[in-house]
């Protein structure tokens, strides 16, 4: 065994663990199911030309991301450490810990814009319930996001709620909250989906969503967006799943749990499309490609304003989004928290310090939707700061992180060691050979190809 588990990976009981498999699945699904599914996925489908994007996305999820999800959970569980410590423990005295460190940076970067959008959803629970958006929701949204201090306060509020849950610990905080929030999320989603399918735009919306238009043949930018979206949606590529895996017991059936997490995440994304497109196409002049970050905020309240019971359905929709965002923000903040806790800092103080730090980092994103003209259209990039953040982290950092994790699992730590870890305590690992093949060859090659082609496309103009 070249796995130096004895002294480097000594299990530390005080760092916390999940209470049950179901609790872990709900927490990990809570991480995965987020704004990425309900806000991001329909927006990307709109930008990527409809059903063709859906198709590419599904391929990325199952062929590239699912094997990496398994690898992250295995690395985390084997080491029982935060992402930096996990690489140090499995391959001591090598630079691989840098992958963990980059992941921590990416997590903080993602949270800095994620909390801003989560702040919008929080405010919109109130706006939808009171009908504040009125009959011109686009103008209302424009005015709302241009209010800089309001947006900073809202993202701070989101981070404080997130921190409050994380301070409670892994089992008593994260797991307990997920067990309440996730069932509520599924219930609201299904009720709203049924309502959306009876809207007048349902047929047109579904056609757009489900019938691929091959004349708009997929280009590399769409493929890159699909890959980035798959990584983002499954919370992969930066050690969030590694961290959640580090709280698993050896008894857990990791493969089965991973299948649940990926399945639930994909289902929610697809369901969100069934919700948003029929709803969008019920409105005159709806163009899914023009939505941008405001797609659901600037469009859907117009529908809620006119339909019977709209205040109720609208509020429920934004409650759904807020829950989804919170359980994901939890996992983003838990990564740097684990790093500090595993280095002996007190959980409470670590969380509070990180919360203030991320709030400061969130300010430029919060001001980038109109409050600050310079941040709202960065001269060099031709986009606003928030969109730039989302693009840098999702389309670049996460796939590159995923590539390195795949190489580490497949070649450095070794696919056989991963399989042995997951088969601990006699647990089954069906298709272990197929997994090994995917993680060693298919994942690295496919990700590398997409990244290089995207870079080439960008620099070629």
Q: Which residues contact ligand TRP by CB under 6 A?
A: 31-32, 34-37, 110, 232-233, 235, 238, 240, 328, 331-332, 398
Q: What gap in Å lies between CA 202 and CA 206, rounded to an integer?
A: 6
Torsion angle of alpha carbons 369, 50, 269, 318, nearest 10°? 40
Tell the smallest beta-carbon distance from residue 135 to ligand TRP (Å). Answer: 30
**Smaller CB separation from ligand TRP, 331 or 368:** 331
Helix, strand or coil for residue 246? coil
Instruction: Name residue, tokens 């992941």.
Output: 103
Q: How far is the CB of 374 from ligand TRP (least distance, A)?
A: 27
- Rounded least distance, CB 221 to ligand TRP, Å: 20
Closest distance of CB 330 from ligand TRP, Å: 8
Q: Are 245 and 73 in contact (CB under 8 A)?
A: yes
Which run of H or of E encompasses 364?
helix 347-366
Residue in 88, 80, 104, 7 with CA at minimum distance from that of residue 413: 88
Q: What's the rounded Cα separation, in Å, for the pair 186 and 21?
A: 19
User: Which lies closer to ligand TRP via its Cβ, residue 34 or residue 76?
Assistant: 34
Least Cβ distance, residue 158 to ligand TRP (angstroms): 13
Write the DSSP string, 257-318: HHHHHHHHHHHHHHHHHHHHHHHHHTSTT--GGG-GGGHHHHHHHHHHHHSTTHHHHHHHHH
Cβ-based nearer residue to ligand TRP, 154 or 324: 324
- Please identify, using beta-carbon distances, which residue of 266 and 376 lies nearer to ligand TRP: 266
Cβ distance to ligand TRP smaller for residue 115 or 368: 115
- The residue among 154 and 234 lying less far from ligand TRP, judged by its C-beta, is 234
Q: Could you write out the DSSP letters of every residue in 321-354?
A: HHHHHHHHHHHHHHHHHHHHHTTT--HHHHHHHH
Q: Which is nearer to ligand TRP, 232 or 435 (CB)?
A: 232
For ligand TRP, the closer CB: 234 or 305? 234
Residue with token string 């730039």: 388
Joined tokens for residue 395: 């389309």
Alpha carbons within 13 angstroms on the beta-carbon side of residue 372 total: 17
Check if the beta carbon of residue 362 is closer than 8 Å to that of residue 152.
Answer: yes
């Amino acid at each position: 065994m070249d796995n130096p588990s004895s002294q480097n990976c000594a299990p530390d009981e005080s760092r916390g663990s999940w209470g049950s498999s179901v609790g872990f699945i709900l927490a990990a699904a809570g991480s995965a199911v987020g704004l990425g599914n309900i806000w991001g996925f329909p927006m990307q489908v709109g930008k990527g030309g409809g059903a063709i994007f859906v198709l590419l996305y599904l391929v990325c999820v199952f062929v590239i991301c699912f094997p990496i999800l398994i690898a992250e959970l295995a690395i985390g569980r084997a080491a029982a450490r935060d992402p930096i410590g996990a690489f140090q423990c499995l391959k001591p005295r090598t630079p691989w810990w840098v992958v963990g460190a980059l992941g921590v940076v990416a997590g903080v970067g993602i949270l800095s814009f994620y909390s801003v959008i989560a702040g919008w959803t929080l405010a919109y629970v109130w706006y939808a319930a009171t009908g504040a958006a009125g009959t011109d929701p686009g103008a209302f949204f424009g005015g709302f996001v241009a209010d800089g201090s309001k947006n900073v306060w809202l993202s701070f509020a989101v981070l404080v709620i997130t921190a409050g849950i994380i301070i409670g610990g892994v089992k008593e905080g994260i797991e307990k909250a997920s067990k309440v929030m996730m069932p509520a999320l599924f219930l609201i989603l299904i009720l709203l989906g049924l309502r959306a399918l009876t809207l007048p735009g349902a047929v047109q919306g579904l056609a757009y969503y489900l019938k691929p238009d091959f004349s708009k043949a997929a280009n590399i930018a769409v493929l890159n967006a699909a890959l980035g979206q798959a990584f983002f949606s499954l919370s992969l590529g930066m050690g969030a799943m590694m961290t959640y895996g580090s709280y698993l017991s050896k008894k857990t059936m990791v493969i089965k749990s991973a299948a649940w997490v990926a399945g639930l995440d994909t289902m929610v994304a697809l369901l969100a499309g069934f919700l948003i497109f029929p709803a969008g196409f019920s409105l005159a002049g709806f163009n899914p490609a023009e939505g941008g970050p405001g797609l659901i905020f600037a469009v859907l309240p117009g529908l809620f304003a006119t339909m019977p019971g709209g205040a109720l359905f609208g509020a429920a929709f934004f409650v759904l989004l807020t829950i989804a965002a919170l359980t994901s923000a939890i996992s983003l903040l838990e990564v740097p928290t684990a790093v500090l806790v595993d280095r002996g800092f007190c959980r409470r103080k670590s969380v509070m310090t990180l919360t203030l730090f991320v709030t400061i980092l969130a300010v430029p994103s919060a001001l980038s939707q109109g409050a600050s003209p310079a941040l709202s259209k960065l001269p060099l990039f031709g986009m606003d700061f928030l969109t730039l953040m989302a693009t840098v982290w999702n389309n670049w950092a996460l796939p590159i992180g995923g590539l390195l994790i795949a190489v580490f699992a497949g070649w450095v730590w070794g696919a056989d060691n991963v399989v042995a870890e997951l088969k601990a305590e006699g647990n089954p690992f069906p298709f272990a050979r197929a997994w090994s093949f995917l993680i060693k060859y298919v994942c690295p090659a496919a990700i590398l190809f997409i990244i290089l082609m995207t870079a080439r496309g960008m620099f070629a103009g």
